Amino acid sequence: MNIHEYQAKAILKQNGVNIQEGLTAETADEAVAAAKELQKQTGTGWWVLKAQIHAGGRGKGGGVKLAKSLDEVHQLATEMIGMQLVTHQTGPEGKKVRKILIAQDVYYPGPSEKKEYYMSVLLNRETGKNTIMYSAEGGVDIEEVADKTPELIFKEEIDPGTGVLPFQARKIAFNLGLEGQAFKEMTRFVAALYRAYVAVDASLFEINPVLKTTDDKIMAVDAKVNLDDNALFRHPDLADMRDLNEEDATETEAGKNNLNFVKLDGNVGCMVNGAGLAMATMDIIKLSGGEPANFLDVGGGANAETVEAGLKIILSDPAVKAVLINVFGGIVRCDRVASGVVEAYKNLGNIKVPVIVRLQGTNAEEGKAVIDNSGLKVRSAITLKEAADIVKEVV
Ligand code: GDP
Ligand code: MN
């Protein structure tokens, strides 16, 4: 699960990370009130307005703007709230901005140079440790840095048993070229960021940019978090941060029905029981010249309701040209699944695309008979090869 920048910053602050302070608003008037309140709290006279969407690259897309007066706050907020923000991460249709963050300007002039760094903590599945990835080339697209100048990105492996050791925090601050006050602040920043990452069971906590202000403070200007869905039960407060506006509507619907669903870009919808079989089915679809429109695992206890819910979700995608249902009858009997398909087909009505059902396992022949005798435009198959040939015919 992903959360917004303002929510991630609240987590950082709780764990002792310095942040660019801010308040959220959903209207231009609220934005002005927030700006005044921030002025009281921080003394700032300039503010940045930041679109709260689940995507990066907002700066380049016009989702981060500096305001130098309250009038400007009002004007920029009016423009930003409700806009369809397009960044390199949103796709061409963009995302609607419903909320903005009014933050204190932290790029003010001062005695030393300001500088932007990159830092993230992420799970390293290969070593079973956490990795702190960091670079002095922050503020920009880190993928590009990784691509063109990988030597500018450093990695520090952190043993989850010990956490960040003091020498590791100092090594990071040193490699970033810091001295004096900024060096000290960076070591504290590293420890606090790692603490935040562990506290919320994140799989990624990314800060880009980490800013060294012109008076040598180190702070998080941006924040991106991926929370581990499997740990969400431990964090009801975080689960409440879910913003359904930012998630794929069909994936949300699937979640309600306990279906494992991931939307893809192809034209053949598939419904399968078991994740391994689902992967194999997607391969078969590709080999037949189609592209899977989704991954959908209905799980072990497939019944009429789950089949119907799954079919409905698949058919709601206008790109779908055919549906392949591939079920192995182990615990669940094939004739029961077949009845479920027939019932779902009748209930949904007006299905315009071919539906291919391949049943194998317990009562496979009986299941095929149920499909064949239903009088519906459902094609049945017993072997995967037969199913693949039908898919080839229809896509
Ligand atoms: P992203 O583009 O979605 O990654 O959004 P960020 O929060 O990283 O902001 C993008 C850029 O906006 C930063 O790299 C800065 O250059 C700029 N920015 C962010 N905060 C401030 C601020 O307080 N003052 C000024 N002048 N610029 C800022
Ligand atoms: Mn950023």
Q: What is the pLDDT of residues 306-324, one digit of tens each?
A: 888 899 899 988 899 999 9
At 132 the pLDDT is 98
In terms of domains, do 122 and 265 share one? no
pLDDT in tens, 126-167: 999 999 999 999 987 888 999 999 999 999 999 999 999 999
What is the number of structural domains in the chain? Answer: 3
In terms of domains, do 280 and 195 share one? no
Residue closest by Cα to atom 9 of ligand 1: 59
In terms of domains, do 157 and 277 share one? no
Q: Which ligand is nearest to the CA of 206?
A: 2
CA distance 47 to 38: 9
C-beta atoms surrounding 50 within 10 Å = 26
Res 380 pLDDT > 80: yes
C-beta atoms surrounding 380 within 10 Å = 23
pLDDT in tens, 256-303: 888 889 989 899 999 998 889 999 999 989 988 889 999 999 887 777
- Is the whole model's pTM more than 0.85, yes or no? no
In terms of domains, do 285 and 254 share one? yes
Print the domain residue range for 96: 21-105
CA distance 104 to 65: 12
In terms of domains, do 236 and 360 share one? no
Give the Å distance between the CA of 180 and the centre of ligand 1.
25
CA distance 134 to 220: 13
In terms of domains, do 252 and 382 share one? yes
Q: Which of 53, 88, 221, 225 best tests ligand 1's pocket when mutated (most atoms within 8 Å of CB)? A: 221
At 101 the pLDDT is 98
In this structure, what CATH number is given to the domain that contains residue 138? Answer: 3.30.470.20
**Ligand 1 environment, Cβ below 6 A:** 20, 48, 50, 56-59, 64, 66, 105-107, 139, 208-209, 221-222
Quick one: what percent of the chain has pLDDT higher than 90?
A: 71
Query: Is residue 50 part of an annotated ligand binding site?
Result: yes
Q: How confident is the model at residue 91 (pLDDT cuts 50, 70, 90)?
A: confident
In this structure, what CATH number is given to the domain that contains residue 66? Answer: 3.30.1490.20
In terms of domains, do 373 and 267 share one? yes
CA angle 142, 145, 147 (to 5 degrees): 110
Q: Which atom of ligand 1 is nearest to the CA of 64?
A: 12
Query: Is residue 305 part of an annotated ligand binding site?
Result: no
Length of the chain, in residues: 395
Domain boundary among 227, 246, 265: 246
In terms of domains, do 237 and 264 share one? no
At 190 the pLDDT is 98
Q: Which ligand is nearest to the CA of 211?
A: 1
In terms of domains, do 187 and 325 share one? no
Q: Which atom of ligand 1 is nearest to the CA of 60?
A: 2
Q: Of 126-130, 131-135, 188-192, 334-338, where does mean pLDDT reach its minimum?
A: 334-338
At 25 the pLDDT is 98
At 258 the pLDDT is 84
At 381 the pLDDT is 83
Give the Å distance between the CA of 125 and the centre of ligand 2.
25
The answer to whether the Cα torsion of 29, 32, 36, 38 is positive or negative is positive
In terms of domains, do 127 and 3 share one? yes
- The identity of residue 14, as a single letter, is Q
Q: Which atom of ligand 1 is nearest to the CA of 61?
A: 2
SS (H, E, C) the chain: CECCHHHHHHHHHHCCCCECCEEEECCHHHHHHHHHHHHHHHCCCCEEEEECCCCCCHHHHCCEEEECCHHHHHHHHHHHCCCEECCCCCCCCCEECCCEEEEECCCCCCCCCCEEEEEEEEEECCCCEEEEEEECCCCCCHHHHHHHCHHHEEEEEECCCCCCCHHHHHHHHHHCCCCHHHHHHHHHHHHHHHHHHHHCCEEEEEEEEEEECCCCCEEECCCEEEECHHHHHHCHHHHCCCCHHHCCHHHHHHHHCCCEEEECCCCEEEEECCHHHHHHHHHHHHHCCCCECEEEECCCCCCHHHHHHHHHHHHCCCCCCEEEEEEEECCCCHHHHHHHHHHHHHHHCCCCCCEEEEEEECCHHHHHHHHHCCCCCEEEECCHHHHHHHHHHHC
In terms of domains, do 232 and 242 share one? yes
State the burial class of residue 240 (Cβ atoms within 10 Å of its Cβ: 0-12, 13-18, 19+): exposed
At 248 the pLDDT is 80
Residue closest by Cα to atom 11 of ligand 1: 59
Q: Which ligand is nearest to the CA of 58?
A: 1
Res 14 pLDDT > 90: yes
Domain boundary among 246, 281, 308: 246
CB within 5 A of ion ligand 2: which residues? 208, 222
Query: Is residue 298 part of an annotated ligand binding site?
Result: no
- Looking at per-residue pLDDT, the higher value among 166 and 395 belongs to 166
In this structure, what CATH number is given to the domain that contains residue 373? Answer: 3.40.50.261
Domain boundary among 78, 105, 132: 105
Task: Determine contact, residues 137/152, Cβ cutoff 8 Å.
Answer: yes
**Residues labelled as active-site residues:** 118, 206
- Mean pLDDT over the full length of the chain: 93
Give the Å distance between the CA of 80 and the centre of ligand 1.
15
Q: Of 135-144, 226-235, 246-255, where does mean pLDDT reach its minimum?
A: 246-255
At 260 the pLDDT is 87
Residue closest by Cα to atom 12 of ligand 1: 59
Query: Is residue 158 part of an annotated ligand binding site?
Result: no
Nearest to 54 by CA among 130, 11, 1: 1
In terms of domains, do 57 and 149 share one? no
